[in-house]
Amino acid sequence: MQITRAAVIIVYHGVLVDEVEIVRFVLSRIPDLRTVTAGPAPGRVTGIGGVVTADASLDEIRRPAVVAVPGGIGSHLHAEIASWLRHVSPRWLLASSTGSALLAASGRLQDATASGHWLAGHLLERYGAHPSHQPVVVDGPIITCSSGPSAFRAALVIAESYGGQELVTRIRADAATAPEEGHPAQNRSVWTRLRDAILRRDRRAEPAGAPIDQGVDEIEVLDLGLVKPRPPQS
């Protein structure tokens, strides 16, 4: 089986389940775009915070429209995934938190400015990227972000490119009222945190000097012809 023109979310052992689910929530609401999870092999994957299932192997994915790389433990060490990332050309490529380190390890962030988890800055530099303290950075077709809540906003950039502001508004409304009962038991707490993030109640303590995740207005845009930052919300 070969899967084409899909939004592909990469999963692997140690992946952050909340980031998988948050990105899936947004991408799965883009009309006419099939959302699948893929990894080195299909089947159940044990992640941080729960279990996810890889719908397909990376070998089955052909010409993806969107590729999302969630963060996880030791993400940059997954050489097979890095190799696959080097050979795809999606319309959008998104990496969240330490997923940016995996994307950098693939060579896709060479000499690029990128966001990521505050602990992964040295890894971005190791692989030739320039770490940014902004929660979300859009550099051409590549979007990088610092955390789960930032992943939600980064995925909305992709949604807006397909369905405009009307789709973004609808996704935000859906997320704010999404019931936990519709999701796997081990992943239900994701939705509580997601709703809190959207309502700006999620304010987890960050170590001193870490970038603060403020809001959608703090998007660093390096290609203004592709996407514009939203004005601050009153």
Domain count for the chain: 1
Which residues form the domain of 22?
Answer: 3-199
Is the residue at 132 inside a domain? yes
pTM of the model: 0.81
Q: Is residue 211 part of a domain?
A: no
Any residues with CB less than 8 A from the CB of 101 and at least 6 apart, and which?
71, 75, 76, 116, 120, 123, 124, 127
Per-residue pLDDT of the chain (234 residues; tens, 9 = 90+): 678 789 999 999 999 998 998 999 999 999 999 999 999 999 999 999 889 999 999 999 989 999 999 999 899 999 999 999 999 999 999 999 999 999 999 999 999 999 998 888 889 999 999 999 899 999 999 999 998 888 999 999 999 999 999 999 999 888 877 665 544 544 556 656 666 665 553 334 333 333 333 333 344 444 333 333 333 443
CATH number at residue 176: 3.40.50.880
Residue 53: CB atoms within 10 Å: 12
